Amino acid sequence: MRNLKVTIAYRGTKYHGFQRQSNALTVQEVVEKHISKVLNEPVTITGCSRTDTGVHANMFCFNVKTNSRIACRGFVRGVNGELPDDISVLACEEVSEDFHARFDCKGKEYIYKIHCSESKNPFASDLMLHYRRPFDLEAVRKAAKHFVGTHDFSSFCADCTNVSTTVRTIYSFEIEKCGDTVIMLVKGDGFLYNMIRIMAGTLIDVSEKRISPDDIPSILEARDRLKAGRTAMAHGLYLNRVFYSEDEINT
């Protein structure tokens, strides 16, 4: 039995997240269907993470076990030939049998994209949050610094009932602006349900002066979802990188 580590990218607009569901189309369902066809055997893939409906991925990793002897290059070409245009296999490599895409993951990096303009961008309506108000970059950067470090992120979790701990470590939280586009770039050892979207929404509230940058520490300490800001829309969020070693995290 071989174990393949596969990296894909996908546009999440048409899908109800990554993980298979009984009543909605998901990325996992589509990918498993076409991999099974190429390998000529039924397979189940193990993803590195769940993503919400409408969330995208520049890099998503899963592993799949197979009896097929197909070469990794042939796997990439064959599966890409079957997949729809909004999902692409980027790489494939054979790994040890005990590799697990989720449990062996050391950290992740997400980006949140905002189109700041009075006019909408017809080429990015499902790829960036359209935001019509002025964006206070200085205030948002000041606020984002408070997220860096190890904290209890209960205030930034939509549902914490299924996790053993709500403590997470954020390695960096950067805010970049290029023209009309604002990008929030956050790297950490793991993230709670809707955590990135709530942090992004809270920073938007900071930009609108609904929340002060200096309020972030007290919001963290409150461990109360009602103290944080809005949940930003899903279509601005991307899983950007997945890390499987400490060296990767530091790059």
Point out the residues that are catalytic: 52
CA 146 to chain centre: 21
Q: Which of 72, 76, 90, 54 is nearest to 2 (CA)?
A: 72
Q: Look up residue 214 and give its DSSP letter.
A: G
List the Cα angle 51/53/56 in 5-degree steps: 60
Q: With contact defined as beta carbons under 8 Å apart, do 6 and 89 qualify?
A: yes
Structure tokens given for 10: 């996908």
Q: Could you write out the DSSP letters of every residue in 88-141?
A: EEEEEEEE-TT--TTTT--EEEEEEEEEESSS--TT-TTTSEEE-S---HHHHH
CB of 197 closer than 8 Å to CB of 225: no
Q: Closest Cα to residue 92, out of 110, 106, 77, 111?
A: 77
SS3 59: strand
Residue 45 CA to residue 66 CA, distance in Å, equals 10
Tokens encoding 37: 């066809």
One-letter amino acid identity for 25? L
